[in-house]
Amino acid sequence: MLGEIATFSDTRIDANELDETNFVGVDNLLPDTAGKTDASHAPNTVRLTAYEVGDILLGNIRPYLKKIWLASNIGGCSGDVLAIRIADAYLTELVPEFLYQLLASDVFFAYNMQNARGAKMPRGSKEAILKYRIPIPPLDEQERIVAILDKFDALVNDLGSGLPAEIKARRQQYEHYRDRLLAFREAA
């Protein structure tokens, strides 16, 4: 389960240490696992949840929007963004990019929606998120999977906006292989 190998960030950062590049609100997380953009407004609280490089930031409002980002810098996030951090004991056993790929999958977002609360503005259940079952293959296997998925991602991103049908086909191909690569059978 995710809660056995990761936690939600419990560190804090002062708002005056943040700017548009390192403050992450749910508004500047992009839908459909497209990452994040710079914030257009300042934080509205004095202290925020801190995030670190390698943390996975997950939009917790309207999980169906699939807002997720693998942090490439340090900063702070609003209360509507969960900062998932690999526990120190598992840093040598789990590649952050692999955990990101697991949590960016349609399977995870479907699970998150099944456990969400509220109709108009559903919110993911933090308890259920920590109960999400994840595999931990050997490091070399994690790195191989991430490398394959990164290649597909690069292909999709390099196609440009002039080829929408090709982009859609490549995205479907990427999602198919991502789901196949991340589907681990239960041990008998």
> What Rg value do the Cα atoms of the chain yield, rounded?
17
- Supply the CATH number for residue 105's domain: 3.90.220.20
Determine if the pTM surpasses 0.85. Answer: no
Low-confidence ranges of the chain (pLDDT < 50): 187-188
Q: In sequence order, which residues have a C-beta less than 8 Å from that of residue 48 and are 6 or more positions away?
A: 12, 13, 15, 18, 23, 76, 77, 78, 79
Distance, in Å, from the CA atom of 165 to the CA atom of 171, rounded to the nearest integer, reads 10
Q: Does residue 75 share a domain with residue 143?
A: no
Q: pLDDT value at position 171? A: 78
Q: Does residue 69 share a domain with residue 38?
A: yes
Q: Does residue 68 share a domain with residue 97?
A: yes
Q: Does residue 182 share a domain with residue 126?
A: no
Q: Does residue 131 share a domain with residue 92?
A: yes
In terms of residue numbers, what domain contains 168? 137-188
Phi, psi of 152 (to 5 degrees): -65, -45
User: What domain count does the chain have?
Assistant: 2
Q: Does residue 77 share a domain with residue 40?
A: yes
Q: pLDDT value at position 128? A: 96
Q: Does residue 182 share a domain with residue 119?
A: no
Distance, in Å, from the CA atom of 7 to the CA atom of 187, rounded to the nearest integer, reads 25
Q: pLDDT value at position 82? A: 96
H/E stretch holding 69 reads strand 68-70
Q: pLDDT value at position 181? A: 78
Q: Does residue 18 share a domain with residue 103?
A: yes
Q: pLDDT value at position 153? A: 76
